[in-house]
Every structure is written in C-alpha cells, then in structure tokens.
C-alpha cells in the first residue's frame, strides 16, 4: 500500500463496491465501511501508506431459498501487500454454512494465493465469489466438515438449522 498507484487501485476497487446495491446490482452488496472518506477530494481520501491491514465492511444479499431471508455482514481484510496478496474474508453475521467456520472465516479458492488468486482479482469479484458459495456451497472443501456432511446426507435438517440461524442472526434486507 505504500505507493500512490496502489492507493489509486484500492480507491478504484472501493469505488466499484460503492456502486453496488441491495436490489439491482450483481452482486448484491452494500458497502458500510472503507478506509476512504466520503468526500470526493482524492488527496484526502488516499489510504494510509503505513503498513497496516485495511478493513472493508459491507452486507451481502444471497439469493438461495434459505439465505435470501436475510443480509449478512462481511469483513474483507486487506494486507499492506494488496493486491498482490488476497483479502481475508470473514462473516461478522453468524451463519450456518459448510463454507464458513464457526469464527466466521470464509474460504474460497479465489482467495488462496497458491490457487486461483491473482492481483487482477477485483474486490467486486471477491464479493461475487462469497455470494456464489453461500448460494451453492462447495462441499469438496468445507470449513465445517460436519455441516457439509449434514448438507449432503440430511438436507432437511441442514435447511432447518440454517433457516433458524438466518431468522435469529441475519440482518434485515432493507
């Protein structure tokens, strides 16, 4: 993050996230917190050049039958090496899902540097990947194996638990 070019790249990524909304955009996402001020003075909105993690917080709006009843707050943590290192994604809203650990950590091959991540991956693509996995879980690499097994072997019980969690913890969609 130390160079102005990278600050500009981050600013452009976040600007693209700001253009998304909860009803008509693809993906459906609302940005809630970023390292930039709301005014349009770019010099004042440049990210800090100090080597520290940057947090971006927003809400996703899945479309699958169970999860469409709520919105879920996620955090994307960017290291000082972003975009060369992938962001870490964590759910701040509790969710019952095979690809989300109990502590909220989310894993996707797009977010693994040794797998599919590249510095060309935009934050909008990260949000799309998160929503796609929530709507259609990847059962080959679950973060919670027991929930993945339940999803495959006893879908009605998984659906019941997931819907109960949505009703208890998910944020309103408006």
Q: What is the CATH number of the domain that holds 148?
A: 3.10.110.10
Strand order in the sheet with 72-78: 29-33, 54-60, 72-78, 88-91, 105-106
- The answer to whether residue 46 sits within a structural domain is no
- The answer to whether residue 74 sits within a structural domain is yes
- The answer to whether residue 68 sits within a structural domain is yes
Cα 71 to its chain centre, rounded Å, is 12
- Identify the pLDDT of residue 43: 39
- The answer to whether residue 41 sits within a structural domain is no
Tally the domains of the chain. 1
- The answer to whether residue 44 sits within a structural domain is no
- The answer to whether residue 162 sits within a structural domain is yes
- Identify the pLDDT of residue 72: 98
The active-site residue, picked from 101, 107, 139, 163, is: 107
Q: How many CB atoms lie within 10 A of CB 146?
A: 9
- The answer to whether residue 174 sits within a structural domain is no
Residues spanned by the domain of 87: 4-35+51-169
What is the pTM for the complete model shown?
Answer: 0.86
Q: Is 107 labeled as catalytic in the residue annotation?
A: yes
- The answer to whether residue 112 sits within a structural domain is yes
- Identify the pLDDT of residue 139: 93
Q: What is the pLDDT along the chain (174 residues), one digit of tens a residue?
A: 445 455 888 999 999 999 999 888 889 999 999 987 664 444 333 444 445 889 999 999 999 999 999 999 999 999 888 888 899 999 999 999 999 999 999 988 777 777 778 888 999 999 999 999 999 999 998 999 999 999 999 999 999 999 999 999 999 997
């Amino acid at each position: 993050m130390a160079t102005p070019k990278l600050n500009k790249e981050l600013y452009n990524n976040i600007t693209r996230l700001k253009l998304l909304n909860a009803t008509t955009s693809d993906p459906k996402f609302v940005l809630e917190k970023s390292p930039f001020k709301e005014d349009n003075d770019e010099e004042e909105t440049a990210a800090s050049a100090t080597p520290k993690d940057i947090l971006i917080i927003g809400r996703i709006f899945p479309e699958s039958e169970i999860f469409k009843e709520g919105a879920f707050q996620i955090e994307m943590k960017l290291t000082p090496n972003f975009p060369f290192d992938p962001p870490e994604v964590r759910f701040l809203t509790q969710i019952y899902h095979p690809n989300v650990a109990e502590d909220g950590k989310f894993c996707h091959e797009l977010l693994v540097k040794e797998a599919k991540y590249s510095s060309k991956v935009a934050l909008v693509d990260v949000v799309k990947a998160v929503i796609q996995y929530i709507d259609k879980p990847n059962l080959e690499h679950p973060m919670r194996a027991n929930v993945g097994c339940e999803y495959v072997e006893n879908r009605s019980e998984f659906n019941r638990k997931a819907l109960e969690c949505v009703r208890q913890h998910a944020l309103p969609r408006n």
